[in-house]
Amino acid sequence: MAENPTQRRTALHSGAMTLGLMLLVAAAAGGDGWLFSVAALVVAGLAVGGLYLVFPHGPLFALGVANGLAVYMCLYVVIGRSAFPHAISWTLPFGFLMPVAAFVSTCWLKRGELVALASRGLDDADLTHLPRVMRWLLMCGMVGVLAMASPFNRQGPESQTMVLMIAMAAISVISVIAVRDVVRLLVDVAAILTMVTARIRFLVVPMATYVSLFTLLATSFGCLYRIADALSEGPLFQKLGHMGRLDFSEALHFSVVTLATVGYGDILPIDDGVRILATIEMVVGQLLLLFGFSEIMRSRKA
């Protein structure tokens, strides 16, 4: 059946969304070599293209696919670096590809059954199958734990590579067995995101108000810190372990960090008056957070 222009645009937007997120993760993982980053983008293209051919692929469904691929890539890099630090580099892309290729191929082979399943779930989320989803997630997690707990990270490159391929083959088998549950989960995520995006229009006003008030408070307190420090006889702040006066950008940074109650610790107030001022800002930040939460909850009832 020929695609209409709307379907074609949806496919392009979905593919761009998935590849964009994968490009971000691949760039961050570039320290493991350009070959792996390129392979990750190729795998993302394979996944989004193959799944688009099977399912009624919308942007929110693509967002679920992109998120799943990004999480998978992050886990693969982290676990691989810990469990298989000396695996042969050119085999890493093949290990990454195996589960994705197995999953997409199974979706294609069972496309009739899976398309019907996906079509039934596009309008509403059905979370009754989550226990089955947790089972295959637990099995994949056990493979990762066993890989990290094994002593093979002290073996030579050939042994590590062999164990890596065995582990990824096991995950591929699990992905094939659980393909129906994975598809159902992706459809549920798309349905939930559809409901969330439908409510966003009610949240625009409280979100904009919150951001405006946050900006106003952060700027006002930042100016007070800067003025107090400039008018004092000595510095009122410690920067990276050394006494020093704040410039305007540093005062704004300290104000934002204080209002958000993050507490990086790079800038510390050492004067009692400034400490009281920072305490007031933190309390105001908590009240602002309560205001934002209250407005969002009120908008849900609108």
pLDDT by residue, tens only, the chain of 302 residues:
444 566 566 556 666 666 676 677 666 665 555 677 777 777 777 776 667 666 655 666 666 777 777 788 888 888 888 888 888 888 888 888 899 889 888 888 888 888 777 666 555 555 566 666 778 788 888 988 888 887 877 888 898 899 899 999 999 999 899 888 888 777 777 777 777 676 776 777 777 888 888 999 999 999 999 999 999 999 999 998 889 999 999 999 999 999 988 888 899 999 999 999 999 999 998 888 888 777 666 665 55
Q: CB–CB of 75/141 below 8 Å? A: no
Confidence at residue 22, expressed as pLDDT on a 0 to 100 scale = 67
Q: Which two tokens stand for residue 68?
A: 């799943």
DSSP code string of 132-144 = HHHHHHHHHHHHH
- pLDDT at position 2 is 46
pLDDT at 272: 92
Domains of the chain as residue ranges with CATH: 5-177 (no CATH), 202-300 (1.10.287.70)
Residue 237 DSSP code: E
Q: How far is CA 86 from CA 71, 219, 241, 275, in A?
A: 23, 50, 39, 50
Q: What is the pLDDT of residue 169?
A: 94
Strands in 237-239's sheet, in edge-to-edge order, are 242-244, 237-239, 267-269
d(CA 109, CA 136): 20
